Structure 1
Amino acid sequence: MKKITKITAALLVAVIPLVSFGCKHNNNDIENDGKSEPVVIPEDAMRNWTSGSKVKTWSVYGVEDLEKLSEAVNAGNDFAGKTITVKNDIVINENVLTKDFEEPAEGAEPGTPNPKFKNLDSIGRGVSPEEDYEACSFSGTFDGNGKVISGLYMYQGHQGLGFFGVVDGATIKNVILVDACVINRNLIPNPDTSSSYPHDNKDDDRFGGLVGVVDGNGAGVTIENCLFAGVVGSQTALDRGSPYEYIGGLIGRADTDATVKDSFVFARIYGSREDKTDVVCGKKPTNVDRTNINGKDDKGVEVKDFDEAVAKEITDAVKAVQAKVK
């Protein structure tokens, strides 16, 4: 029997087109308040994690901890039963989405990352359609703690692309991502087919701002009190046509139950006319409760200049998320 996929969502706001959110926060790493003494890295910092550790609570203080979490999950550690908590505001990159930001042109050659930015890898990822997503998914609890993570930049060519690439049975809460850019770049042409896309030419690609794939191999996923403000799109999809990809502001594709509530999406989403795009979830499940959602699809238009009114909306939304953190 085919499992019914369900997304329930409440209090989500979608604003298109996207604006940049030029925020300044703490340093990328643990600060020492200007003292000359070496910075002491707390024992619970995620960068101290080692394979086989029995510790169930870890903390993210800076970019190095995010990179360590990504490395660990992508090596097959799902962190089920463990909780990761963000302790500081984090600036991954500054001013990723300025008014000069340009989306890839239709028919563009395979792209390369902007060398000015740190190109962060997803927490969990899929490499090819034949691989089991469950082998590289995040299944723990990630508490963003209302801290602002700004300047997320992902310009890569693998499936399951997003801040969390693949999740299975995870709880993601209180996460704030602003000035974020998640782009599937063009890949090297496949010499064995007429396609410029080297996957298996099926509708199997997933890209989301917060989560690329909600994996269908296990329990459902809960996303609560989160905010994403940024661009999500596929350079390949601009002229790939059919077959299509799934692109979403929060979730690229959900293959099992997912609950999304009390969250905000300020997203510019683009792809081809054949793509399944949506500001909340690219794959539209069988049953959808979309009460109090203000959203629409928007494909292939240029990013507009910074808009103060929308910037204030994002600021207010950040405060709303932070106010609910216990």
Structure 2
Amino acid sequence: MITPAAAFSGGGSGTEADPYEITDVNQLQEMNAKLSANYTLMNDIDASETSTWNSGAGFEPIGDYTNKFTGTFDGNGSVISNLYINRPSAFNVGLFGVIGSASVSNVSLEDVNVAGSDYVGGLVGANTGTINQSYSTGIVTGSGYLTGGLVGENTGTINQSYSTCNVIGDGMVGGLIGQNNDGLVIQSYSTGNVTGEIEVGGLIGTISFGLVDQCYSTGNVTGSDYVGGLIGNEDGDVTQSYWDMNTSGQTSSEKGIGRTTENMTYPYNSDTTYVDWDFTNIWDIHGSVNDGYPALLSLTNFPPNVSINDPDSNSNVSGTFFVNASITDPNGDSYKSSVYLNNTTGNIDSHIDLSQDNDSVTFDSTSFIDGIYNIMWRAYENETDDGLFGFQTINITIDNTEPVLSVNDDTTDEGNFSQDNITCNISFSDANLNISTIAIYNTSDLVDSNTSSISPHTVTFEDLEEGTYQLNATVSDTVGNIAEMTTREIVLDTTSPYINKIVAPSDVNTSETVEIGFNVTDNIGVNHSLTEFNITGNASAELTEDGTWYNYTLNVPADSVDDIVFNATFYDDAGNLNASDDFTINVSDNIVPVIQDTVYESDANTSDSFIIGFNVTDNIGVNHSLTEFNVTGNASAELTKDGTWYNYTLNVPSDSLDDIVFNATFYDDAGYENASGDKTINVSDNIPPVIQDTVYEEDVNTSETVEIGFNVTDNIGVNHSLTDFNITGNASAELTKDGTWYNY
């Protein structure tokens, strides 16, 4: 049995600045003595001897449920291999049993053999900390629940990590994680086979909340209940994550996107798979790496990527030609290149051991025999040809024999012509004829062209604008040689002014001032005095000239939202014209109705009746059908319209002194609104109580008992507590209330 030493036997002091330095498997086991310290791995460790430790139980996991690992562990990319743990009845089994608020990074576990009961993982049994850029390979077995190739249960963060372990468990079994319990799993993957009974997934057995983003799995998945290619069972978020339906044997998953092996391996379809994944900084994919699936740049060495950009594959070249390539090493490793030009007899020419910044070479083919050649560009790491290498090979054809070209008589000669067409007629021949091209250009651009592979080739370019043209014809063969006619300059003058651009807003507001502009050119100039301009609302409108621009300042009416339509016609001195289409400007209103005045009585008496009035104006008119009016005591109250006044007759209730609150909201046809805000009318009462009747005996005898009664009513009720009653001989006499009767 291995008993951790009281003091760490390696170098360092265990602080963040000076972590303990681990150089062998015994020091790895000593981490159990100081679970909150900082550690770094200094070299590769072969942990084979752990198979004989602790009577065959092997390595004792670092940290447990009671005493979690809370420090930091940096694997430095060094490999821990052949770790053995055989604790089939134990919980929290892995290199680390339980990670608390800890950070574990850059750990490489290879060929592990880990067995436990519940919470079993190649790297960690239960994680609540952060695992970054780490991986595991080998076998992980759990006889109970929560078994994963990397982590048994994750409630923390796992980033850019993977596992290829084959995983066997009972429930909650995953190629990477057994259960993600409100944890975060980002840019990670698993490729091992997964076997279990319930809640079995290629990546994760079950998810209880949390997030899984940009992950994938490919291993074969078998189980009985809740089995999925990516996720067995879930109650969380899974985004941009995939599983291989072919290799997993599963066509469904609780979450994730199923794809075929062809879709998931190089070259994959980026429109449907690994959408928005970062294949520059996080991932890369190569046919010879990771079986063609994506791999993490932080954990995988990729060969240089070579892409020959020029010449195109199967293209034709002649003379001296360039070979250009784009070369990148995904891991940033240094490399050299060699470029070979070969034919069926072997290597013809080459450029050897090019420096990393050299991505272009030339070959002079003028002395080579015509025929098919191949170009291979090979880039290799470590600056030797024995390093990891990438390459691309393309085929090209070399032929240095030009076609024969002759120009026939009906081709338009050089000179000036009063016509709108140009004709060209050529004859040509070549043993490897490809195509002929006849083209006309103006002073700066290609105007039109026509191609044919049949001789003679005749074309007439018609309906040409006025101007100066160059007529040119070329004939190429299949290997890129070109014969060219002498260019002819031809001048035509028949075209109208050209409206290059029309600038105008499509939407404006009332009272707004905007500019309308036409950019117009003509080879002989626009005659502005003949320009016609029409616009809604101004029969005398004219455009002003500013260079090639013809402008108009539009003052949008304040009182109308009718569309404004305009057009223009331009002439040159030859009388050629060009008329624009009608353009429509949609007019909207952005001015809210204005409440000019609100008339009402701020103080009123019960039973009063008076008018509440709003004087409201709007530049395009108030839409009375949309008006909203609210007043205390009348849910269906509406304002009546009288010109710009909107009125309501208020009948103050006779039986209430409650304040009356009212407000109104007014709209125009553009939907703009203005709300008055609440207005309050204070209600008072000016009607005294009415003594309807007084009942008493005018004559009584001594010792007789009689009733005195007053029948009293009031519009808002009698306040009995304020009632005064005076009678001879009893200074404290009071009336008693019975309905509207007050008795003594």
State the TM-score bracket (shorter-chain normalisation): 0.5 to 0.7
1:265 pairs with one of 155, 159, 163: 163
Q: How many angstroms apart in 1 are the aligned matches of 2:77 and 2:296? A: 8
CA distance in 2, matches of 1:152, 1:287: 30
Secondary structure of the residue that 1:289 maps to in structure 2?
strand
* Identical-pair percentage: 30
Is the contact between residue 271 and residue 299 of structure 1 (CA under 8 Å) also seen in structure 2? Answer: no
Q: Which amino acid aligns with 1:251?
A: V
Counterpart contact for 1:122–1:165, Cα < 8 Å:
yes
1:167 aligns with 2:103: no
- Determine if the alignment matches structure 1 residue 69 to structure 2 residue 31: yes
The aligned counterpart of 2:725 is none
Report matched runs for 1:15-34 at 5 Å: none
Match of 2:126 in 1: 213
Q: 1:29-40 to 2 correspondence within 5 Å?
A: none
Q: Which residue of 1 aligns with 2:152?
A: 252
Aligned counterparts of 2:35 and 2:54: Cα–Cα separation in 1: 30
Instruction: For 1:264, give the aligned amino acid.
Output: Y
Q: Can you list the C-alpha shifts for 1:55-104, whole angstroms capped at 9, x where unaligned?
A: 5521111111111113x1xxxx431xx3200001000118x9xxxxxxxx
Residue in structure 1 matched with residue 75 of structure 2 by the alignment? 144
| Letter of the structure 2 residue corresponding to residue 277 of structure 1 | V
| Superposition pairs of residues 193-208 of structure 1, within 5 angstroms | 205-208=118-121
Could you tell me how far apart the structure 2 residues matched to 1:67 and 1:54 are?
15
Structure ranking higher in helix proportion: 1
What's the secondary structure of 1:78's corresponding residue?
Answer: coil
CA RMSD of aligned residues (A): 3.7
| 2:165 partner letter | A
User: Is the 2:11–2:22 Cα contact (8 Å) retained in structure 1?
Assistant: no
Contact (CA 8 Å) 1:78, 1:138: kept in 2 or not?
yes
Partner of 2:61: 122
Partner of 1:92: 47
Match of 1:47?
9
Q: TM-score, normalised by structure 2?
A: 0.25
Instruction: Specify the alignment match of 1:6 in structure 2.
Output: none
Which of 288, 292, 308 is the equivalent residue of 2:215?
Answer: 292
C-alpha distance in 1, partners of 2:157/2:297? 22
CA deviation profile, 1:124-182 (whole Å, cap 9, x unmatched): 12xxxxxxx2x311011100000011001100132110011001011110000001111
User: How far does residue 222 in structure 1 lie from its aligned partner after superposition?
Assistant: 1.2
2:132/2:159 contact within 8 Å kept: yes
Name the residue aligned to 1:276: 172
Q: Which has the higher strand share?
A: 2
Q: Structure 1 residue 290: deviation in Å?
A: 3.3
Aligned residues of 1:208 and 1:247 also touching (Cα < 8 A):
yes
Question: Which sections of structure 1, spanning at least 5 residues, go unmatched?
Answer: 1-44, 97-111, 126-132, 186-204, 216-220, 238-243, 301-310
Tell me the TM-score normalised to structure 1 length.
0.53
Secondary structure, in 3 states, of the residue corresponding to 2:164?
A: strand
For 2:68, the aligned partner's letter is S
Q: Note closer, same or farther for the CA distance 1:85–1:261 as it changes in structure 2 (3 Å cut).
A: same
Task: State the Cα distance separating 1:114 from its structure 2 match.
Answer: 11
Kindly provide the amino acid, as one letter, of the partner of residue 23 in structure 2: Y
In structure 2, the residue matched to 1:321 is: 299
Contact 1:268 1:298 in 2 (8 A): no
Which amino acid is the alignment partner of residue 271 of structure 1? Answer: G
TM-fit CA distance, 1:263: 1.4
Residue 66 of structure 1 aligns to a residue whose secondary structure is helix
The code of the aligned residue for 2:20 comes to W
* Mapped partners of 1:160, 1:122: distance in 2: 8
By how many angstroms is 1:250 displaced?
Answer: 1.3
Change beyond 3 A, Cα 1:226–1:169: same
